[in-house]
Amino acid sequence: MNAPANASKLIKGATGDWEIVVGMEIHAQVSSHSKLFSGASTEFGGDPNSHVSLVDAAMPGMLPVINEECVKQAVRTGIGLKAQINHRSTFDRKNYFYPDLPQGYQISQYKSPIVGEGEVIVDVTASEQIVVGIERLHLEQDAGKSLHDQSPTDSFVDLNRSGVALMEIVSKPDIRSAEEARAYVTKLRTILRYLGTCDGNMEQGSLRADVNVSVRRPGEGLGTRCEIKNVNSIRFIGQAVDVEARRQIGILEDGGKIDQETRLFDPARGETRSMRSKEEAHDYRYFPDPDLLPLEFDQAFVDELARGLPELPDDKKARFMRDYGIASYDAGVLVMERASADFYEAVAKGRDAKAAANWVINELFGRLNKEGLDITSSPVSAAQLGAIVDLISEGVISGKIAKDLFEIVWTEGGDPRALVEARGMKQVTDTGAIEAAVDAIIAANPDKVAQAQAKPTMLGWFVGQVMKETGGKANPQSVNELLKRKLGI
Amino acid sequence: MSVDQATVRRIAHLARIAVSDEEVPHLQQELNAILSFIEELSAVDVEGVEPMTSVAPMKMVWRKDAVTDHAGADVIVANAPVSEDGFFTVPKVVE
Amino acid sequence: MTDVTRLTLAQARDALAAKTLSSVELTQGHLDAMAKARGLNAYVVETPEQALAMAAASDARIAKGTAGPLEGLPLGIKDLYATKGVHTQACSHILDGFKPEYESTVTSHLWRDGAVMLGKLNMDEFAMGSSNETSYYGPVASPWLPPHRDGAWAREALAGDKKGLLTPGGSSGGSASAVAAHLCLAATASDTGGSIRQPAAFTGTVGIKPTYGRCSRWGMVAFASSLDQAGPIARTVRDCAIMLRSMAGHDPRDATCIDAPVPDYEASIGASIKGKKIGIPREYRIDGMPAEIEKLWADGIAFLKAAGAEIVDISLPHTKTALPAYYIVAPAEASSNLARYDGVRYGLRVPGKDISSMYENTRRAGFGPEVRRRIMIGAYVLSAGYYDAYYVRAQKIRTLIKQDFEKAYAQGVDAILTPATPSAAFGIGEKGSADPVEMYLNDVFTVTVNMAGLPGIAVPAGLSADGLPLGLQLIGRPFDEETLFSVASVIEESAGRVALPQPWW
Ligand SMILES: [Mg+2]
Ligand SMILES: [Zn+2]
């Protein structure tokens, strides 16, 4: 926590440098069919109060019973975060009154969470990696939803979300910039999606971040932090960190002091502001929920879950670098989504893995991004892209033609090999035909020949002429070799 | 430990129970009578004792992850003092 | 025809099985008795149509030979239990008009076994009280007459404010009074600190609080989750055994309910207790214990000795701490359990200028003074800075109390005999108005059992100098209700069945 400040991360203030310190509480909705303590559906949307059981509505005499799958999902996530799994944890009640909190308390794990300390390795840039410590992960209930802007006098309460299982994942204050904050959440989201423990859908609120921001002079102890509640996109997380850090620096440089408080990020105005309604001092009166016994399981239970886990992104990345010989950054990009990694492996298998990485990352991902598509809805399949890579390495088409071919496959579909055949896109490898073209061009341009012999860089002009002559289909390597020999350079 | 009148008001608000000025002194006296009764416990030696977490010697039962409860919105709001279009209605909450 | 309400539950069961009596006759007899006894205020709601329909269905099943263990037997249900479509308010104003869309597990077990519901029984509001005086529906009168009073005087008092009449105890006062006055064959009750055993002792009836986890709490309005337990009040030990067998049982909807078979408790009635070790805890001999309670206890010891039991002195050193610790744990849990009564989803709503004042006005108007007091104490002991000093300490003391019992049982003790209450029944309006703690002291012998989660039964064992019933309590090992039924039936036999009052109301 008090490691020496990284100079490149510091913010220049009017009176000197400042270091940003960020810790995050991520609320990740557990992927499950039913709620944490009731048999109501977790399905998103639906008519108001249509996914609500008597338990979720806190009817008199209703009792919570824990959902086994939610426990498993929390343990899986703990394993994915390389964290300590606690074989005994307890549920506590956090007491407060709010219309979307029917019980008058949230069941959470305050004193002893199901998962303890762990870590997440985060690629910030192509060349920079950080490790963010995980403080804990605990299970808790989500609240319902209140609609405040439908009427001047009333709020409307829908309990469909009430009781849905959340994992609150608390990081250590190991993050030092907006960029790191974004990269951390991105990586965490990747891990959760790999594990299948949270769908990571931020638009639907499946992943929300409470961002704790403070600033300090390099080398000093932690400053007073403000908690920015419920930031629901990775971009906004970065913006929130930046604007909040600048706000705090401004106050401190003017000789003021920071009040520890809860704030809200307003993306439209690009500012954070104090949440007045939450200003009232809270006294949550936590105590163990007497309706629930301690949550207990043994190591065999954990081992069984661990055996069932897929290869995780860090392992996959290491394997890609080792087995396919691709660069760390490329491997990192490929493993970001499990589907992308699978796609890449299908393309790379038995082929030039580096070329495959290039095609997947640069051509395919580039094009998907432009169209706003994700890998699962790619119009070009792994088999099709693999065939294109094959055609290049077999020398049937040039890299340039391959791009045209990719475009045709993207828009029209079809078997790349058949397309090359049918549309005469085949590279001319017949040296006789190339030689004829070379000879004709040499014969027609004696002045250029002299120039080229004096200045070998002129070779390019000849290559261009030959390619023109052959409609771009000549094998560039053969053209080069022939020209060099015939021109004597 | 005993409570003063400000504490009585604070607890009443924490518990969301309205108290009138007249009843505060009376409440204070009653609460202090109960507090002085439970104060006897401060003399008990509890060094090294684990607080009780479950009174019965049993393991907690877990539920299978299945959607088994479809109460239906009409059932959920059936007893609501005020509801509208399947929503519970409350006095406007200022965020 | 003889008065069908004078039958015990077991006798009525046998008469129905022998077809010498129909459930409709039996039920109608009780409905008539209830109509004449409204002054006692034992029932807050009568459900005659439902009762007769259930009785007719029972008669049909008996005729077909598909009768359940409680087939056709009319029962009263404490207002704490959710009964589908029927008034369920825990006798609180805050649940004004609440009719649940669901049936509690315990009552659904009773209906599964063929029982008939007569109505909902009065109780202390949210089960908080020891005299049934905190009910929103007013106090319940015991059928027992106060010393030196006659029926004429009592009828007048009943028509007035009931002052001076005896309380049936609480919180299951409606249950105890209805059973003692023959207004049902048996009743459901619930016990958080003594709410089954104290009213049973006060009314000359039998009540058992089973081991925590024996009955499901699903659909029972919660008071203090770690202490609440369902149980019956009936006129005989056998009737209690029959009732408990139906009420108990596993429920996957209550995580604290044990998954273990329910024994046939009735088989324990009359079983020999020869060689059973009965513990007599010296700490229950409290200062100023009335001589008649001392004598009752000594009589009980003599009965058991005569039946071949071995009497051993034991020590439960943390007994004195149980009541104050209870008044931390129970209010703390209650303050949280009762947070759901907020005027949003059901029950009373009193408008306010904003959400917070709506909450505050609703809860001020909806909860009576005792409930408000306990919620406030509970909020205080859990609040920042006090949690460790009060709540955590009380839970540690609970561990010590439980260990006391475990040590006694480890020495081979099979059951523990104590008085059930420190005195006989007192008068309505007599206690607790100046100092709430005065009322709390009623539970001094019963509350330890809840704190340790053990089973406890109260059985009538004699009369006070004033001719009022007094009860003894037997405390058992976890989930060993069978021993309690055996030993209690010995006391019942030896003491002679208490003659319940003849109707004066
Ligand atoms: Mg938070
Ligand atoms: Zn949380």
CATH number at B21 reads 1.10.20
Same domain, C211 and C97: yes
What's the confidence (pLDDT) of residue A1?
A: 47
Domain shared by A72 and A206, yes or no: yes
Residues C362, C460: one domain? no
Over 80: is that where the pLDDT of A200 sits?
A: yes
Nearest to C342 among A104, A286, A290 (CB): A104
pLDDT, tens only, C269-292 = 999 999 999 999 999 998 889 999
Residue A45 CA to residue A28 CA, distance in Å, equals 17
Whether residue C171 is preceded by a cis peptide bond, meaning omega within 30 degrees of 0, is yes
Q: Where are the alpha helices (DSSP H) in A359-458?
A: 366-371, 382-393, 399-412, 416-422, 431-444, 446-454
Tracing tokens 């009836």 back to the chain, one arrives at: C205
Is the backbone of residue A427 left (phi > 0), alpha (psi -120 to 50) or beta? beta
Look at the pTM and tell me if it is higher than 0.90.
yes
More confident: A166 or A447: A166
In a domain? residue B12: yes
**Main-chain dihedrals φ then ψ at residue C377, nearest 5 degrees:** -60, -45
For residues B57 and A296, the answer to whether their CB atoms sit within 8 Å is no
Q: Does A13 reside within a domain? A: no
Asked if the Cβ–Cβ distance from C99 to B13 is below 8 Å, we say: no
**Residue B92 is assigned to a structural domain of this protein:** no
- Domain edge (last residue) among A399, A422, A445: A422
| One domain, residues A192 and A220 | yes
In C135-212, beta strands by DSSP E: 186-191, 206-209
Q: Which of A48, A54, A69 sits opposite B86 (nearest CB)?
A: A48
Yes or no, beta carbons of B93 and A146 under 8 Å apart: yes
Binning pLDDT at 50, 70 and 90, where does residue A429 land?
Answer: low
Q: Which two tokens mark C174?
A: 């409606």
Q: Is residue C20 part of a domain?
A: yes
Examine residue B89 and state whether it is found in any structural domain, yes or no: no
pLDDT digits 0-9 by tens, A458-489: 888 888 888 888 777 777 777 888 888 888 87
Q: Does one domain contain both C220 and C260?
A: yes
**Domain with B29 in it:** 5-42
Q: What is the DSSP letter of C479?
A: T
User: CA of C3 to nearest chain B CA: how many angstroms apart?
Assistant: 41
Tell whether B48 lies on the interface with C, counting CB pairs under 8 A: no
Q: What is the pLDDT of residues C206-236, one digit of tens each?
A: 999 999 999 999 999 999 999 999 999 999 9
Q: How many domains does chain C have?
A: 2
The pLDDT, as a whole number, for residue C127 is: 98
Computed over every residue of chain C, the mean pLDDT equals 97
Contact between chains at B86 and A49 (C-beta distance less than 8 A):
yes
Strand order in the sheet with C415-419: C43-46, C116-121, C74-78, C186-191, C229-234, C206-209, C456-463, C469-476, C415-419, C277-281, C310-314
Burial class (CB in 10 A: 0-12, 13-18, 19+), A376: exposed
Q: Hunting for tokens 């609040």 — which residue is that?
A: C383
Tell me, yes or no, whether B71 lies in a domain: no
Give per-residue pLDDT as tens, B12-58.
Answer: 999 999 999 999 999 999 999 999 999 999 999 999 999 998 888 78
Q: Does A146 touch chain C (CB under 8 A)?
A: no
**Looking at the domain assignment, is residue C459 inside a domain?**
yes
**A464: enclosing H helix or E strand:** helix A459-469
Mention every residue, 6+ apart, whose C-beta is less than 8 A from residue A457: none
Residue-number span of the structural domain to which A450 is assigned: 431-487
* Number of domains present in the structure of chain A: 3
Please indicate, yes or no, if residue A12 is contained in any of the structural domains.
no
**Residues C135 and C96 placed together within one structural domain of the fold:** yes
Which pLDDT belongs to residue A276? 64
pLDDT in tens, A385-412: 999 999 999 888 888 889 999 999 999 9
ipTM, two decimals, is: 0.97
**Do strands C469-476 and C456-463 pair parallel, antiparallel, or not at all (unpaired)?**
antiparallel
Rounded CA separation B81/C86 (Å): 17
Alpha helices in A52-120 (DSSP H): 68-80
Q: What is the pLDDT of residue C212?
A: 97
Query: Region A194-213: what's the mean pLDDT?
Result: 96
Average pLDDT over residues A35-50: 96
- Give CA–CA dist C336/A411, Å, rounded: 62
Identify the three-state secondary structure at position A451. helix
Distance CA B56, CA A469 (A): 91
CB contact under 8 A, B56 and C211: yes
Domain end residue (candidates: A304, A320, A335): A304
Q: How confident is the model at residue A263 (pLDDT cuts 50, 70, 90)?
A: very high
Does the distance separating the beta carbons of A157 and C82 come in below 8 Å? Answer: no
Range of the domain at C37: 4-283+413-495
- Nearest-Cα distance to chain B for A313, in Å, is 27
pLDDT at A300: 98
In a domain? residue A1: no
Encoded tokens for B61: 């039962």
Catalytic residue annotation of C: 78, 171, 195
Residues C137-148 have a mean pLDDT of 97
DSSP category for residue A40: -
Q: For residue C456, give both structure tokens.
A: 């406890």
Q: DSSP assignment, residue A85? A: B
Instruction: From chain C, pick out residues whose CB is under 8 angstroms from the CB of B81.
Output: 343-344, 346-349
Asked whether the predicted pLDDT for residue A279 surpasses 90, the reply is no
The C-alpha angle with vertex C107 and arms to C105 and C110, in degrees rounded to 5, equals: 110
Distance, CA of C216 to CA of C213 (rounded, Å):
7
Q: State how far residue A242 is from chain B, nearest Cα, in angstroms.
A: 24
- Phi, psi for C384 (deg, rounded to 5): -55, 130
| Nearest one of C21, C24, C48 to C35, comparing CA atoms | C48
Amino acid of residue A322: R
Question: What pLDDT score does A129 carry?
Answer: 92
C383 in the same domain as C419: no
Using a pLDDT cut of 90, give the percent of chain B over it: 81
Residues 6+ apart with CB under 8 A from C49: none
Of the pLDDT bands very low, low, confident and very high (cuts 50, 70, 90), residue B95 is low
Last residue of a domain, one of A422, A454, A470: A422
pLDDT tens profile C344-391: 999 999 999 999 999 999 999 999 999 999 999 999 999 999 999 999
| A264 in the same domain as A243 | yes
